[in-house]
Structure 1
Amino acid sequence: MLKEKLILNALAFKDANSGIVEQHRLLDWILSKGYRRLEIRREYMRNPSQEIALIAESNQKAQLELHYSVADKLFQDTYIDQSLIQDYMAEAKMLNAKSITFYLGDYRALSVKDKVFLQGLCNGSLAVLIENDQSLSGGKADKIEELLMICHENNIKLQMTFDIGNWIWTGEDAEKNALKLKPYVSNIHVKDVMIKDGCFSSTQLDGGIVDWKYFLKFFNGKNFILEYPCGMEPFDCIEHAYQLINEAMIESQ
């Protein structure tokens, strides 16, 4: 895999910035290391409108491919807050993002109103995805599959970011879920998960219990996003992960 193909998530830089990630300052840094793709995290923004403008301005020079993670629910209290989602979409378009990712949220059924809304939302140039989060309400495969199946039956191009580690929090089998959800998956959050004192936490590759190499092979050709904290020297950690990923992909050929 070329460096240009690997997507970095802003979470990688959180520790090195004392938890305050000014994402517009990452672009030139990332570019200087040979990477070309970044997933922006909205929850790191203290003033989203201001920071999105700064990122967009900085990226006029850097020209990275940006993806946008909102960290909010598509379904709020069983329905889609259409005004809120449209605001998030406008932010993604300001970033000229390739994709925008939501959590599923409180999905129960797809109403006619929400179906019509999703048809307009998902069938444009901006890819719209839902991610399996760590919650029991929005991170279960059956509900995610149900919505994605309904959408695709109605020509709604809603896609999925498959987080290989989050299934541990929900107590589900990641490999079984990969089989059922593969037709809808475009992006993969690549991480490992460690257990300490009965608690789970995301960690670097080969630092936990996830068979991440299996998912690289299974989802070969999809977008791989490196999504875990990378400590005080993030690029050392990222370079190590990049080497591990390349070795794993060569082994799987």
Structure 2
Amino acid sequence: MTTIGINTLVYMSELNDGTPQSAILPVIAAHGVTLAEVRREYITEDGEFDAIAAAAKKHGLDLFYSVPESITIDGAAHPNFTGFLDEAKRMGVKNVKFNQGDVKDVDASVIAGLDAEAAAHGVTLTIENDQTPQNGTFACTEASLAHIAEVGGRIGYTFDLGNWFWRGENADEAFAKLREKITVFHLKNVNGAASREELSTTMLEDGVIDWRAMLPQLDPEVPVFLEFPIEADHVGEQVATLRSAVA
């Protein structure tokens, strides 16, 4: 059965007002989900790592960690890769997500090293297609995943459904070609505007993506996260909409 999660970006208004993610985790748990994804860019002080760990444990949440940094740079692991994994272990995180960087071009030994560090820290790794030309095109994503598989790497893939539109790519085609590589799914819908400047996320039922047709095609072990800003009083209905689609 598909597990539903909530990325703290859902509460972007609260985050931008300074609410710490440790205070948002109980709100997430109140929606009856067991997965939450916290974001490194909103952790502003060292003590928050421990506060997040405590809140997750208290409310029965498994944590994923979004790190908006490239997993590899100039053919090597990100200089602070081990530090990011130390943060993840401190919070009790299960999975750490990075941008692709130049992982499609690195030596097999680099990927083996990333896998070894992840194992030592008790976490899994994923890379994501984001909204940038460096890390978000279909071509680079496909090449990154192919190279990881070719060298026997264990790095997984977070498929972000809406981000393809910011790159002017076809989300349905990307899903069809990359579906078997997906280990985490970030769900959002978009308004389908022709220009990047006018593109925006929508409530799940209001956008142009037929996401309901995609979810049954995922391996049931793939968790599905809501990952777009939602007004607090509408989060419950969006969780219910997603839950009805995976029931």
Aligned to 1:209: 208
Specify every segment of 5 or more residues in structure 1 that has no aligned partner in the other structure, as ranges. Answer: none
Distance 1:58 1:108, change over 3 A: closer
Q: Secondary structure in 2 aligned to 1:137?
A: coil
Match of 1:13 among 11, 28, 41: 11
Distance 1:151 1:31, change over 3 A: same
Count residues with an aligned counterpart: 243
Match of 2:90 among 91, 94, 98: 94
Q: Which amino acid aligns with 1:165?
A: G
Q: Which amino acid aligns with 2:114?
A: L
Distance 1:91 1:107, change over 3 A: same
Please list the CA deviations of residues 39-75 of structure 1 after superposition, one character each: whole Å capped at 9, or x if unmatched. Answer: 001111122x321121113333223111101111113
Q: Which amino acid aligns with 2:133?
A: L
Residue 40 (structure 1) aligned with residue 42 (structure 2): no
Match of 1:114 among 110, 114, 120: 110
Q: Could you say what the CA RMSD is over the residues aligned between the two structures, in angstroms?
A: 2.3
Q: Distance in 2 between matches of 1:205 and 1:57?
A: 31
What percent identity do the matched residue pairs reach? Answer: 27
Distance 1:240 1:172, change over 3 A: same
Residue 242 (structure 1) aligned with residue 239 (structure 2): yes
Report how far residue 136 of structure 1 moved: 1.1
Q: Distance in 1 between matches of 2:125 and 2:84?
A: 11
Specify every segment of 5 or more residues in structure 2 that has no aligned partner in the other structure, as ranges. Answer: none
Contact 2:66 / 2:98 at 8 angstroms: preserved in 1? Answer: yes
Q: Secondary structure in 1 aligned to 2:79?
A: helix
Contact 1:194 / 1:200 at 8 angstroms: preserved in 2? Answer: yes
Per the normalisation by structure 1, the TM-score is 0.86
Residue 83 (structure 1) aligned with residue 82 (structure 2): no
Report how far residue 103 of structure 1 moved: 1.0
Map residues 213-232 of structure 1 onto 2, 5 A cutoff: 213-221=212-220, 222-231=222-231
Q: Distance in 2 between matches of 1:153 and 1:112?
A: 9
Deviates more, 1:23-32 or 1:160-169: 23-32
Q: Which amino acid aligns with 2:161?
A: I
Residue 187 (structure 1) aligned with residue 184 (structure 2): yes
Aligned to 1:174: 171
Q: Secondary structure in 2 aligned to 1:83?
A: coil
Report how far residue 169 of structure 1 moved: 0.8
Distance 1:13 1:144, change over 3 A: same
